[in-house]
Structure 1
């Protein structure tokens, strides 16, 4: 069996172990779905009446942003899970088994991806209830979901690196989320970027969150007239795919290297 095939097979075993843990502690899944539902309801019914959007209902404008924010924040589970495994000595136990060194990271990111599939499904149903609709064909709709989950997988590798770089679960919980707040809110996820100061508007338009959100709005027919300017507005798919590739190219090797260092402590 090749090294890649062994890594994938062992990674699936670790992924099933992580999914079994969620089954035994359903609170993890419950709280990971309550937060996005709360965001949908708060922004749709509280802020929605105060934020004007041209050419589209705010609830439809909002939902792609909530989707991207949710999977980005959901990646923090990867950091917490790996930090917990390190703290409890599970990584040392994995090292003693005849398994691929990459299996722990592959299994962790895969299980969190499957968790995101469930969360995105729940969010889609919530969005339909508050008035969100997809106005394009089935192919573009599915492509939007594939792009969203690919982005979620890439973000999990950033969190994997963070989780392996800290010394406790508590620090992982803070470090895994705190950088997400400016990244998410300094974007087009909740408000159009047109009224932002010039510098902030430029940062927001080139933000990977903004590229993902605008791509989903285009794929699902929720874009409206306020798109931003320049390359980010004209080619959001290209930029979104570029960000995903860049994140994976940088953080997959970094996470694997950090795992080797953490496992040899």
Structure 2
């Protein structure tokens, strides 16, 4: 225990117990709390499912016959090409919700109550991001079912398909730490939502998610080819077997080795933004 005060009275503040095991245990407790909260507000989950389903239907049937992929304008070819991009967009757009949730907890004083407990300081953020990861995984399951209904298929077997989904979830988990940092840096949940989306739109649209990058102007093409979002989309397409015949693979290293590029990008983002988020959390609640 440590004591803090104004010199006249001293109030004990619990000190967090150390150790990796304790940190993991605290993180799981916080994750459980957030999952229970999500279950009690089902409309949040439902609305989170509606948007990606709309994207699947709209892009598949509105743009399906208008965009050439690998020299083909067949709508079914575009649906195979599209789905990895929709999956990746779904896991990354969950970042805004993660940031808004953390900002809401800060605004309501819940974080201050957590600080009064002898728990690992990073457990609050880790637990929140893990809960968001579970919600994102459930969303991907539903979205994959919808994709199968509209004609999407995997062609390289179940193990590689699962590896593709694992890379997508890893990217979503990495981006949730960016959302956590945004949530800790603003004053209201509304600002966190806006701040969480404003950088996601250029990131997802200046990529190979919805159109081949070789159709873009030179500068945008280079940005798209080195975009971590594009690397994960390319890796998922490769693992799903959704790259159409004749599809030109850019010479950029991330596009030539998308699985490794996706892993490297995601791990680097987690390491950097988790460190920044935990530091921000400590300074914001000190």
Structure with bigger gyration radius? 2
Contact 2:18 2:120 in 1 (8 A): no
DSSP 3-state at the match of 1:170: helix
Q: C-alpha displacement at 1:45, in angstroms?
A: 0.5
Q: Give the structure 1 partner of residue 271 of structure 2.
A: 249
Distance 1:13 1:233 in 2: 39
Q: C-alpha displacement at 1:2, in angstroms?
A: 5.5
Distance 1:99 1:238 in 2: 35
Q: Give the structure 1 partner of residue 110 of structure 2.
A: 90
Distance 1:226 1:46 in 2: 24
User: Which of 12, 16, 20 is residue 36 of structure 2 equivalent to?
Assistant: 20
Q: C-alpha displacement at 1:196, in angstroms?
A: 0.9
In the alignment, is residue 203 of structure 1 matched against residue 223 of structure 2? Answer: yes
Answer 1 or 2: higher relative contact order, Cα 8 Å, separation at least 6. Answer: 1
Question: Which has the higher mean CA deviation after the structures are superposed, 222-231 or 150-159?
Answer: 222-231
Distance 1:138 1:47 in 2: 28
DSSP 3-state at the match of 2:49: helix
Q: C-alpha displacement at 1:226, in angstroms?
A: 3.2
Runs of 4+ in structure 1 displaced over 6 angstroms?
none
Q: C-alpha displacement at 1:263, in angstroms?
A: 1.3
- Which runs of no fewer than 5 residues in structure 1 stay unpaired? none
Structure having the higher helix fraction is: 1
Q: C-alpha displacement at 1:22, in angstroms?
A: 1.1
- Which runs of no fewer than 5 residues in structure 2 stay unpaired? 1-16
DSSP 3-state at the match of 2:210: coil
Contact 1:214 1:227 in 2 (8 A): no
Distance 1:75 1:176 in 2: 6
Distance 1:3 1:217 in 2: 40
> Residues 203-222 of structure 1: matches in 2 within 5 Å?
203-222=223-242
In the alignment, is residue 191 of structure 1 matched against residue 211 of structure 2? Answer: yes
> Residues 106-185 of structure 1: matches in 2 within 5 Å?
106-185=126-205
Q: Give the structure 2 partner of residue 103 of structure 1.
A: 123
User: Which of 28, 37, 47 is residue 31 of structure 1 equivalent to?
Assistant: 47
Q: Give the structure 1 partner of residue 90 of structure 2.
A: 70
Q: Give the structure 1 partner of residue 280 of structure 2.
A: 258
1:77-115: CA deviation from partner (whole Å, max 9, x where unpaired): 110010000000000000111211111011100000000
DSSP 3-state at the match of 2:119: coil
Question: Which has the higher mean CA deviation after the structures are superposed, 235-244 or 87-96?
Answer: 235-244
In the alignment, is residue 7 of structure 1 matched against residue 23 of structure 2? Answer: yes
DSSP 3-state at the match of 1:34: helix
Could you tell me the TM-score, scaled by structure 1's length? 0.97
Contact 1:187 1:205 in 2 (8 A): yes
In the alignment, is residue 229 of structure 1 matched against residue 251 of structure 2? Answer: yes
Distance 2:131 2:252 in 1: 37
Q: Give the structure 1 partner of residue 11 of structure 2.
A: none
Distance 1:31 1:158 in 2: 22
Q: Give the structure 1 partner of residue 67 of structure 2.
A: 51
